[in-house]
């Protein structure tokens, strides 16, 4: 009898453990209902790449407000069956109250990062409650009431249009995106590149908070990359907002993971490079001998930027080249980063910055982080002026 009692107790303990483990597993998988996660990595690097239905709905609403004539949001709408479906489905809602007041939720004719930040951080349930403080989205929203109004109006649009049903009815585009990523992830390991990036930049010297890297991918804004961030007391979340698509293709299922990962590294680098460049604006003023910005960079996309922004675009490309050189080799760095930027981007002085970084690499005891080397890079770049 004693034997049977012991066996019963052991069985109960096993059931209890199994139940407990099952609960833990369920809790871990209890992700945001609006997300389709392609891949997630936790540990030395905290990284997630995913799609978000709320964001996709916002992009389509933006295109609707712009009468589907945007060069960035559902571009060439009438060319693609997927975009034609969206246009036909959502056009009857052109006079919806949310769309009538939509102008403040755009950044010119593109997405608004404050709005995206709110949508990505809505509560993990169908109440869609706000989890963002006003100071995180202060360019667009002045107070909590304005944020709550946006969420309320967006939710009404989401429900009235049955946007979730529309997106689910076109799930094949999302499933193909996830399948491609899972089958090709090993071709460009983002976690290895991010580890090298942190080491190269000297992140531990700059940031004491936990860093979360998040890449949000969408088929509705196919050929542009953007970046933004949120901060709390104990962590900073860095977002890269982009597509998995090949920028040189017009096929909405022609994916390119190597290009996508390269864009991620580029966008994440901006978080670490832009501020030290801006803080050294006075050095740009001191050494700048260029008579106009077109002499520094050929592309009108960049020559329209302030001097410090052109500068950080240079430095990000050069540093990314060194990262790829260290992880792969010189050939990969030139093929993936440098050659195309010299040929198509018009960054004529990129090689000089790329080579100057060897001095930084050889003197890391002196230069603990990239911040301390930025003044030297600025002088190197602007000494090319006539």
Has residue 182 been placed in a domain? yes
Which one of 270, 298, 331 terminates a domain? 270
> Per-residue DSSP letters for 179-193?
HHHHHHGGGS-HHHH
Q: Are residues 120 and 147 in the same domain?
A: yes
Report residue 158 as tokens: 């989401």
Supply the range of the domain harboring residue 354: 280-386
**Quick check: 78 and 84 in contact, CB under 8 A?**
yes
Same domain, 181 and 61: yes
Residues 238 and 365 in one domain: no
On whether residue 275 sits in a domain, the answer given is no
Are 259 and 311 part of one and the same domain?
A: no
What is the residue-level pLDDT of the chain in tens, covering all 386 positions?
Answer: 444 444 433 343 333 333 334 333 333 444 567 899 999 999 999 999 999 999 999 999 999 999 999 999 999 999 999 999 999 999 999 999 999 999 999 998 999 999 999 999 886 655 667 788 898 999 999 999 999 999 999 999 999 999 999 999 999 999 999 999 999 999 999 999 999 999 999 999 889 999 999 999 999 999 888 899 998 889 999 999 999 998 777 778 899 999 999 999 999 999 999 999 999 999 999 999 999 999 999 999 899 999 999 999 999 999 999 999 999 999 999 999 999 999 888 999 999 999 999 999 999 999 999 999 999 999 999 998 65
Backbone phi, psi, residue 338, to 5°: -70, -50
- Residue-level pLDDT at 155: 95
Q: pTM score, two decimals?
A: 0.87
Kindly state whether residue 166 falls inside one of the protein's structural domains: yes
Count of domains observed in the chain: 3
Are the C-beta atoms of residues 247 and 259 closer than 8 Å to each other?
A: yes
Q: Are residues 97 and 158 in the same domain?
A: yes
Q: What is the pLDDT of residue 77?
A: 96
Q: Do 316 and 341 share a domain, yes or no?
A: yes
Contacts of 353 (CB under 8 A, 6+ apart): 314, 315, 318, 377, 380, 381
């Amino acid at each position: 009898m004693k034997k049977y009692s012991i066996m019963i107790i052991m069985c109960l303990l096993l059931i209890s453990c199994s139940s407990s483990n099952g609960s833990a597993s369920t809790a871990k998988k209890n992700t945001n209902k609006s997300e389709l996660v392609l891949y997630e990595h936790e540990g030395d690097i905290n990284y997630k790449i995913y799609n978000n239905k709320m964001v996709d709905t916002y992009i389509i609403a933006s295109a609707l407000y712009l009468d589907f004539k945007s060069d960035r949001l559902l571009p060439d709408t009438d060319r693609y069956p997927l975009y034609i479906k969206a246009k036909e489905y959502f056009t009857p809602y052109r006079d919806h109250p949310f769309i009538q007041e939509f102008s403040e939720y755009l950044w010119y004719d593109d997405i608004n990062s404050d709005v995206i930040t709110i949508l990505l951080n809505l509560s993990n349930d169908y109440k869609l409650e706000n989890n963002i403080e006003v100071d995180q989205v202060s360019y667009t929203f002045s107070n909590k009431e304005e944020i709550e109004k946006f969420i309320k109006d967006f939710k009404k649009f989401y429900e009235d249009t049955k946007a979730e049903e529309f997106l689910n009815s076109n799930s094949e585009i999302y499933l193909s995106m996830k399948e491609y990523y899972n089958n090709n992830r090993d071709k460009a390991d983002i976690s290895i590149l991010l580890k090298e990036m942190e080491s190269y930049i000297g992140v531990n010297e700059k940031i004491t908070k936990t860093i979360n890297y998040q890449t949000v991918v969408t088929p509705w804004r196919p050929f542009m990359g953007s970046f933004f961030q949120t901060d709390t007391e104990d962590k900073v979340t860095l977002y890269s907002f982009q597509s998995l698509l090949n920028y040189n293709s017009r096929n909405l299922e022609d994916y390119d993971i190597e290009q996508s990962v390269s864009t991620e590294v580029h966008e994440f680098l901006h978080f670490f490079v832009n501020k030290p460049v801006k803080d050294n604006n006075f050095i740009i003023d001191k050494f700048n001998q260029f008579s106009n910005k077109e002499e520094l960079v050929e592309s009108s996309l960049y020559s329209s930027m302030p001097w410090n922004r052109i500068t950080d675009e240079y430095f990000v490309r050069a540093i990314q080249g060194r990262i790829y050189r260290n992880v792969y080799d010189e050939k990969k760095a030139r093929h993936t980063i440098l050659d195309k930027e010299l040929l198509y981007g018009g960054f004529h002085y990129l090689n000089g910055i790329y080579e100057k970084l060897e001095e930084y690499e050889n003197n890391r005891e002196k230069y603990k982080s990239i911040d301390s080397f930025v003044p030297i890079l600025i002088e190197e770049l602007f000494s090319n002026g006539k």
